[in-house]
Structure 1
Amino acid sequence: MALPHVVHTTDEDGVNGWIHDGISSWAAVTALPDGGARAEQGGPRRLFDAFETAWDAWTAHGSVSRRDHGITITEHEPYVWEGAPDTGRRYRLPAPAPALG
């Protein structure tokens, strides 16, 4: 949720991964035997740096699973929540486009 529009894939054994924004920024990541990772990235957006920041925030907040998320849409704002709709962390979503007609 912290990186909308960013796509990530891994190989079957999870050793190599690729991150891209579908435009011009990308990162290639390789897991190292010592538990670290080596990353190369290119384009105007530093995607691996952003991914690492999002990962650190996710683990700092208890590594909440996908099942512990939901979407709430009110007349004032749409948002995604984690943990609980009323008390969990919230991520604002862009306002929906006006209906054509």
Structure 2
Amino acid sequence: MSKKLRVSAETIPELRDFLAGADVDMGCRPVAVKRGDRYATEVISDDDELARLGRRRAGGVRIEVLEEMPSAARRLRMVPTGNRFAGGVVPRGYGRKE
């Protein structure tokens, strides 16, 4: 199962070096955010890679599990089906509504 992680280090180069060899999904725009005296980024990793990262973790690097990500089958069940315009209510949000 995949997990969303927060990986942090005291410096950006230390964080970058640690994640350079990691098999994690950093999204389309990875960013390191200053949180207190550390720099942190969020990634998605499977359980095997999380265990490997834990074993090779350097002294200043911290890994926090934020949440478990739904499986592919569960994500498919989360997608709404049916007529979104039923009852005459137009969905709100970005994009054209035709």
**TM-score, scaled relative to structure 1:** 0.24
Is the radius of gyration larger for structure 1 or structure 2? 2
When you count strand as a share of all residues, which structure comes out higher? 1
Q: Whose relative contact order is higher, 1 or 2, with alpha carbons under 8 Å and at least 6 apart? A: 2
When you count helix as a share of all residues, which structure comes out higher? 2
**TM-score, scaled relative to structure 2:** 0.24
